[in-house]
Structure 1
Amino acid sequence: MKPYRVLLYYIYSPIENPDQYRDEHHRLCLELNLLGRVIVAAEGLNGTVSGLAADCEQYMATLHADPRFAGIDFKVDESDVHAFQKLHVRTKAEIVHSDLPVDPLRQTGIHLEPAEFQRMKNDPDVVLVDMRSNYEHAVGKFSGAVTFDMENLRDLPDHVHELDHLRDKKIITYCTGGIKCEKASAYLLSQGFENVYQLHGGIIKYGMEAGGEGFDGECYVFDNRLAVPINEVNPTVISTCYRCGTPTSRLINCASPACNNHVTLCDDCGHTHEGTCTDACKEDPNRRPYDGTGYYSKQTQSYSPLQGYKSRQGQHGPLV
């Protein structure tokens, strides 16, 4: 068993004072030596963090002990090391930026657990709809799923017409961990779609609980790993190397900071072209040294996990 855990979670549950709770939550992460990203909003909590197994267990127990967050469904993966290099706990208007005029606490698609999803997904009356960004589904998606060429969930209203011919079908939305589908499925219902479902826990939970059957390629994740395997039953590769065209699911960020595109690059091209997606990027004088992973965190001078907390100490008192 690997020593670290990677947690992915969200919950729509009202938080009366998001700024105050943001500081409380940041302190908790510091005490448990967790790294990652957590978003706090009046509508709820969304996070992905990593830490040692015992620290992650304490973190989950602490959140579950809070009545507001007792219903959190944590997706837990193992890792050899931290999956993040920094800690950011931020207050935002939404826990997933969408600008969609919906409230998941009032209306959302019918939740399907992984086993239910697995039974339904091949029904001829069912259509799977990917609610992720284009660079995410380019490296992996469910076989036969409808995908949109969108940068983020804010673009969904511009693409919903692409589903008009499927209004008589059962539509199942899916995303990485389930959070986007809470609002995406609610939006489809608001647009007159009647039979709308969503994969509860997303691709990650489906892989953990149902073996990932039917998911082609790998799943993009928002940490150092970039993409993770999902399908243990019938795995395939659907993406190709951006440089040479050979099949590969190996996802990187271009080493040129001016580019930083998410592209699939095979191991050979990664080393030959030093982690860049074009020759122009390779000539970038500010090109970052390629370490074989293709992941580059934003450089912050004098960063420490305490940094974000200390900047607010004057408002809420010292860390104790």
Structure 2
Amino acid sequence: MENKDYQILLYYCYAKIDNPEEYREQHHLFCIENNIRGRIIISDEGLNGTVSGLKEDTEKYIAYIHADPRFAKTEFKIDESEGHAFTKIHVRYKPEIVHSALRHLDPNVKTGKHLEPEEFRKMKDQEDVVILDVRSNYEHELGRFKNALTLDIDNFRDFPEKVKELEHLKGKKVLTYCTGGIKCEKASAFLLEQGFEDVYQLHGGIIKYGKEAQGEDFEGKCYVFDNRIAVEVNSVNPTIVSKCHICEEPSDRMVNCANPTCNIHVPICESCGDKMEGACSVECKEHPEKRPYNGTGYYQKNLNGYNPYKGWKRENAKEIS
């Protein structure tokens, strides 16, 4: 039996932070002192993060978040892991916790009705319902709900413009979903602002749906923003919807192109991976900077003397030799 001593946490919380830069420093130091790695965004509007660590360390981290009254409602999606899902810790300030071009919307004031996974499962196939995927192309091409409407967008900030194409759905119940729920908070709020009246969102996103509703009718894998790249969701009726980028045979084996100047994540089957040496095209295969292919399509980042205290500005910051 696998010994999984680590955990991966996915979370977000929309909550006003009056001193985000100061809080970013405090948060960063806590992560360093408790060996938490990952990517965390601190904003005036809240927190958004995916982190990893030993179970006892992630439990301390969860307690640290919940002890702050601003973030007491934060819900964590937790996966067990054999090791860290990140090589570094980055805690950054950004204007939004997810880049949306919808900074005027506050999900704490108005957003779509939250559906728990079992409620979503029961409702999704009703005749007057439209399931709307609010994620980007590379995400929904790997996996999506059966019969879901997907949008041709490369980034979530393109979502508002695409809503103009959905006018004909204003009389329907619109069920939005994304990876962990964060994009749906503003996507559903924007739909309401644009005159859609019956708008819902999958609470906790695809990840929570996989845990609580066994991922039923989610086709393919779910793209995630850590070293795993893609995770299984459906334990009821799994299928593959993505195709190998090279031969177009069914494949959900996500590969990071071996050419670092390209670096795209695309499905490439094992056979084509070997033949193309991990590259997504002949041009990338022949690129002088192409990385050696080890059969996985995942490339550990070179830390290059990485100092986790960098960016922590207090006078008593320690130096790491």
Among 180, 199, 204, the residue aligned to 2:207: 204
- Structure 1 CA distance for aligned equivalents of residues 26 and 295 of structure 2: 37
Q: Which residue of 1 aligns with 2:314?
A: 313
For the pair 1:193 / 2:193, whether they are aligned, the reply is no
- Structure 1 CA distance for aligned equivalents of residues 34 and 136 of structure 2: 32
Shift of 1:304: 3.1
8 Å CA contact 1:207–1:231 kept in 2: the answer is yes
Q: Which residue of 1 aligns with 2:273?
A: 270
- Structure 1 CA distance for aligned equivalents of residues 189 and 166 of structure 2: 15
Corresponding letter in the other structure for 1:69: F
Alpha-carbon displacement from aligned partner over 1:211-256 (angstroms, at most 9, x marks no partner) = 0001000000001110000000000000011111221111112111
8 Å CA contact 2:241–2:250 kept in 1: the answer is yes
Gaps of 5+ in 1: none
Q: How does 1:130-141 map to 2 (within 5 A)?
A: 130-141=133-144
For the pair 1:102 / 2:117, whether they are aligned, the reply is no
- Structure 2 CA distance for aligned equivalents of residues 107 and 135 of structure 1: 29
Among 221, 226, 234, the residue aligned to 1:223: 226
**RMSD across aligned C-alpha pairs, in angstroms?**
1.4
Shift of 1:308: 3.5
Shift of 1:297: 5.4
- Structure 2 CA distance for aligned equivalents of residues 155 and 138 of structure 1: 17
8 Å CA contact 1:249–1:264 kept in 2: the answer is yes
For the pair 1:284 / 2:283, whether they are aligned, the reply is no
Q: How does 1:1-320 map to 2 (within 5 A)?
A: 1-100=3-102, 101-296=104-299, 299=302, 301-309=304-312, 312-314=313-315, 317-319=316-318
Corresponding letter in the other structure for 1:65: A
Alpha-carbon displacement from aligned partner over 1:64-93 (angstroms, at most 9, x marks no partner) = 111111101000001111111111000110
The 3-state SS of whatever aligns with 2:221 is strand
Corresponding letter in the other structure for 1:3: D
Shift of 1:319: 4.9
Shift of 1:300: 5.1
Deviates more, 1:63-72 or 1:228-237: 63-72
8 Å CA contact 2:87–2:301 kept in 1: the answer is no
Corresponding letter in the other structure for 2:252: S
8 Å CA contact 1:45–1:95 kept in 2: the answer is yes
Alpha-carbon displacement from aligned partner over 1:101-144 (angstroms, at most 9, x marks no partner) = 32212110000111111111111111110010100000000011
Alpha-carbon displacement from aligned partner over 1:265-316 (angstroms, at most 9, x marks no partner) = 011211221110101100011011223332335545311323333xx234xx
The 3-state SS of whatever aligns with 1:313 is coil
The 3-state SS of whatever aligns with 1:308 is coil
8 Å CA contact 1:131–1:153 kept in 2: the answer is yes
Deviates more, 1:73-82 or 1:99-108: 99-108
The 3-state SS of whatever aligns with 1:27 is helix
Give the alignment's TM-score, normalised by structure 2: 0.95
8 Å CA contact 2:309–2:318 kept in 1: the answer is no
Deviates more, 1:17-26 or 1:254-263: 254-263
8 Å CA contact 1:8–1:48 kept in 2: the answer is yes
Shift of 1:57: 0.8
Corresponding letter in the other structure for 1:151: D
- Structure 1 CA distance for aligned equivalents of residues 297 and 136 of structure 2: 20
- Structure 2 CA distance for aligned equivalents of residues 136 and 166 of structure 1: 23
Corresponding letter in the other structure for 1:234: N
Give the alignment's TM-score, normalised by structure 1: 0.95
- Structure 1 CA distance for aligned equivalents of residues 277 and 56 of structure 2: 38
Corresponding letter in the other structure for 1:318: A
Gaps of 5+ in 2: none
- Structure 2 CA distance for aligned equivalents of residues 66 and 183 of structure 1: 23
The 3-state SS of whatever aligns with 2:56 is helix
Alignment length (residue pairs): 316
Corresponding letter in the other structure for 1:278: S
